[in-house]
Amino acid sequence: MRRIGLILEDGFQLMGLAALAAFELANAELGEEGYQLTVLSEHGGTVRSSMNTGIETVALGVMPDTLMVAGELVPSPISSGLRGYLARAGKEARRVAGVCTGAFVLAEAGLLDGRTATTHWAHAPNLRFRFPKVTVDEDRIFIRDGNIWTSAGMSSAIDLTLALIEDDHGSTLSRAIARKLVVYHRRPGGQSQFSALLELEPRSDRVQRALTYARENLRNPLSVEELAEAASLSPRQFSRIFREETGQSPAKAVEMLRLEAARVMLEEGRHPMDIVARDTGFADRDRMRRAFLRSYGQPPASLKRSLKLMEDSAAA
């Protein structure tokens, strides 16, 4: 049985507790208490969230196998006692993880010095400024650097926990838990925090409907006529409204969606280039290669190699 401890401080975000839900479901799938879950705080007792909801906690004591730190809405300095406990954890715990702005707590304890870490993109500049010894990569869902794990904000706590469970028990169990949580089976850690749909920010339901249709039908040609039909507009109306709302042409937006989908498939590492090009609608490898060079400055093969090197380095 592995002991999991989640540290909370006053002002923690309730979404941080989602990390424990995956471990709880792992126990149900295993049919035994594979994980013993404990909610911790420095002195124990009631800790209040940013919404003033009280959670009962146990005082810090015996070091768990995996120690996690939930993030706060606004990161604040930690006490010398908590700093010392976390410094010990870096040496004694098998794994230490910071959820969202929990990375600030780990950084303050010195656990991220000389390491690469992530956090919610909105807090990344502050993390980089306050802790110059940390290499901050805000364009990642989660990062593993040795025995230290960090995740981006909000729902990525679940991605991080699924990755920890997969590290312990393999992908079959983590996939079963993802299904029960009704989430995508663990987004790769290297996946960007940013979504093409969010970046386009359409205002109307019609344009949003067309973009959702495009993302779900990337193998189609996705001409202006096809997208306009999905939006219940004439091609001329659709092109004008689409550009007004997104600042992009329909063709450019479709390319962004194709690139995002192709990058995710490359990050998963299980698909040959021809399959990636076909399934994301690029039709052939050369067309996909030119799109990657325009947007990322490197071909898909180079991106795939660098992602593999990052994973190998993190696992070492």
187 in any annotated domain: no
Within this chain, do residues 137 and 224 fall inside the same structural domain, yes or no? no
Give every CB contact of residue 72 below 8 A, 6+ residues apart in sequence.
Answer: 9, 11, 12, 13, 50, 101
State how many domains the chain has. Answer: 2
Q: 87: domain CATH number? A: 3.40.50.880
Within this chain, do residues 102 and 218 fall inside the same structural domain, yes or no? no
186 in any annotated domain: no
Instruction: Please say which residue of 181, 211, 239 terminates a domain.
Output: 181
Within this chain, do residues 246 and 307 fall inside the same structural domain, yes or no? yes
Does the pLDDT value for residue 186 go beyond 50?
Answer: no
Residue 311: the pLDDT is: 55
Within this chain, do residues 211 and 102 fall inside the same structural domain, yes or no? no
> Which range has the top average pLDDT, 84-98, 157-171, 205-219?
84-98
Does the pLDDT value for residue 218 go beyond 90?
Answer: yes
Within this chain, do residues 116 and 240 fall inside the same structural domain, yes or no? no
Within this chain, do residues 154 and 52 fall inside the same structural domain, yes or no? yes
> How do residues 149-183 score in pLDDT, each as one tens digit?
999 876 788 888 988 998 999 888 888 888 888 76
136 forms beta bridges with 117
pTM of this prediction exceeds 0.75: no
Within this chain, do residues 23 and 73 fall inside the same structural domain, yes or no? yes
Within this chain, do residues 105 and 218 fall inside the same structural domain, yes or no? no
Report yes or no: 57 and 217 within 8 Å, Cβ to Cβ.
no
pLDDT range class, residue 308, cuts 50, 70, 90: low
Give every CB contact of residue 312 below 8 A, 6+ residues apart in sequence.
Answer: none
Give every CB contact of residue 184 below 8 A, 6+ residues apart in sequence.
Answer: 178
Cα end-to-end distance, the chain, whole Å: 24
Q: Would you call 33 exposed, middle or buried from its count of C-beta atoms within 10 A (0-12, 13-18, 19+)?
A: exposed
> How do residues 35-47 score in pLDDT, each as one tens digit?
999 999 999 999 9
Instruction: Please say which residue of 153, 181, 209 terminates a domain.
Output: 181
Within this chain, do residues 157 and 280 fall inside the same structural domain, yes or no? no
3-state secondary structure at position 206:
helix
Q: Which residue range forms the structural domain that includes residue 261?
A: 196-315
